[in-house]
Structure 1
Amino acid sequence: MKKLFTHALVIILSLFTISCGTTKKEPTTPAEVLVTAKPVEQESRALQELSNSPRHHEWVTLQHGNREVQAFVVYPESNTKTKSIIVIHENRGLDDWARSFADKLAAEGFLVIAPDFISNTQGKKRTTDFENPDAARDAIYALEPSQVTADLDAAYQFLKKDPSANGEIAVIGFCWGGSQAFRYVTNNPEVTQAHVFYGTAPDDAEALARISTPVYGYYGGDDNRVNSTIEKTENIMKAANNFFNYVIYEGAGHAFMKSGLQPDAKEANKTALKQAWTRLLTILRE
């Protein structure tokens, strides 16, 4: 009878453990969902890549006026001065994927800075301090364009003054960040290249006419929300004799640079990711 009671008690406790859990599970981060890391590891594949990277990473504080901006910097392994890149994150903030992308660029020989545009906003030091991706997105869309420009200017000046850089600075943005990259070169003519991944241009012909920087676009074929704006942008850029060259990757969706990493990604997104990455590096090295 005692053995039977003990056995029953073990079963009950086992069921309790399954239903309630005996250990606290950390919440899944946006990057874990997007790069499909194993949940048991409690960290994203992108974060693992960052942890294993041999390159020098550091957080820096950029300042302008009364504002302080957190920015992630990655230095390449190089014995010469290098070109530099500003990476502008998507509309969910500076997540692990964006930082991993910065690291991949540094692996190709570039000095990279990725500002966290919602750092020190709404009482949060960095994107990772927001409750969830939706809260981060809301904070993104609450930003004043003038503040975003000032943050970018601070990042630009950081790279300009870095003794390991050669003074050539490109800007790359994704989604919301792609739109900001396009907008930034209407304000800073010294940027050497702008790479716009599935982002829209400013709806301002006078602003677009001010651009003196070559702009390269990367768009998914199944992303008509963005693509429906391309023709107008192209016409305005042509009328102003500005350089605008783009590729639309057939069958790829919005954010294919991130979704194309998923093990179950559709082939069009995987293909677009590979082709866009090759194109980006080719142009950056020109």
Structure 2
Amino acid sequence: MDQRIINLFDEYTHAPLSRQEFLERLVKLAGGTALAAAALAALEPGYAQAATVAEDDKNLVSEDVTWPGEAGVTMRGYLVRSKGRKKRGAVVVIHENRGLTPHIKDVTRRVAQAGYLALGVDALSGFGGTPANEDEGRTLIGKLDAEQNLNNYLRALAYLRARPDSNGRTGCVGFCWGGALANRLATHDPQLNAAVAYYGRQPDAAEAPAIKARLLLHYAGQDERVNAGIAAWEAALKAAGVRFEQYLYKGAQHAFNNDSSPARYNAEAAKLAWDRTLKLFREALG
């Protein structure tokens, strides 16, 4: 697919670009309505086709849970674990800028399948939860108070540590908007053991010395917007003595892990990044 079309979609999903303007520009770039429709079908999510772990997997137990959030908000999450009574490491799964979508719930099940207590947090709990319409989800994400949202995720980590089926060790993995938040959780939670950021924006370099967790940073080679901050963040992490690994997946697009978006999904990069993610969790969470 024309890189300009992928870049336009990235602009649409991350900037205040209306769907009407996006579609008008897409038609021009694609060279017609029919070609634009084909491009859109490859870009927008097809959740049912991309599910990796079935919702009714007989080896998993899932439930909807709540915990107290900031400003009186009741936070909601999708908690999944494998069957059995053993204590295990716990992982917060942080969604993209659309909310707790079926894709992120599927990722949560993948984490649980690997042996962890996995919690997919719905950052939009205060708005009644993630809407089915992704444009609405993006709009609501933009209305979140950044500090309250951060504290809600910190409370999610505390909730997991206090559960009787947790071994007290915690990690997080986030994608895009969630990747940026994974970085921020590492700078604000000294008890966090591991943080994995997929194509996430970097915090201010001055925050690096506060990090106690091990970091794993996945970047897409074609992601100029996010990659502009790599060098400064890498230098800050090295100066602070933070244990981190970072990988740049050449040729991969932003959101290369999202297998519900065929045009941007990169199976080879996604598998390699996921294997590296689980390796860190095994080492840091038990």
Which TM bucket (shorter chain)? Answer: 0.7 to 0.9
**Quick one: which of 124, 127, 130 aligns to 1:127?**
130
Question: 8 Å contact 1:35–1:46 — kept in the other structure?
Answer: no
Q: Which amino acid aligns with 2:221?
A: G
After TM superposition, the structure 1 = structure 2 runs for residues 32-111 of structure 1, keeping only pairs within 5 Å, are: 33-35=44-46, 37=48, 45-46=50-51, 49-52=54-57, 54-64=59-69, 65-111=71-117
> RCO greater where, 1 or 2, for CA within 8 Å and sep 6 or more?
2
After TM superposition, the structure 1 = structure 2 runs for residues 240-255 of structure 1, keeping only pairs within 5 Å, are: 240-255=240-255
RMSD: 2.2
Q: TM-score if structure 2 supplies the norm length? A: 0.78
Query: CA shift at 1:177, angstroms?
Result: 0.4
1:181 partnered with 2:186: no
Q: Which amino acid aligns with 1:214?
A: R
Bigger mean CA offset, 93-102 vs 237-246: 237-246
Partner of 1:157: 158
Unaligned stretches of 5+ residues in structure 2: 1-40
Question: 8 Å contact 2:172–2:195 — kept in the other structure?
Answer: yes
Question: 8 Å contact 1:78–1:109 — kept in the other structure?
Answer: no
CA deviation string 1:158-196 (max 9, x = no partner):
111111110010011000000001011111110000100
Unaligned stretches of 5+ residues in structure 1: 1-29, 38-43
Q: TM-score if structure 1 supplies the norm length? A: 0.78
1:281 partnered with 2:254: no
Report the secondary structure of 1:185's partner residue.
helix
Query: CA shift at 1:83, angstroms?
Result: 0.7
CA deviation string 1:75-125 (max 9, x = no partner):
22244211110011000100001011101111111001111001122xxx2
Query: CA shift at 1:47, angstroms?
Result: 9.2
Distance 2:202 2:124 in 1: 21
Distance 2:52 2:205 in 1: 41
Distance 2:95 2:235 in 1: 27
Q: How many residues align?
A: 241
Distance 2:243 2:53 in 1: 38
Partner of 1:4: none
Question: 8 Å contact 1:118–1:139 — kept in the other structure?
Answer: yes
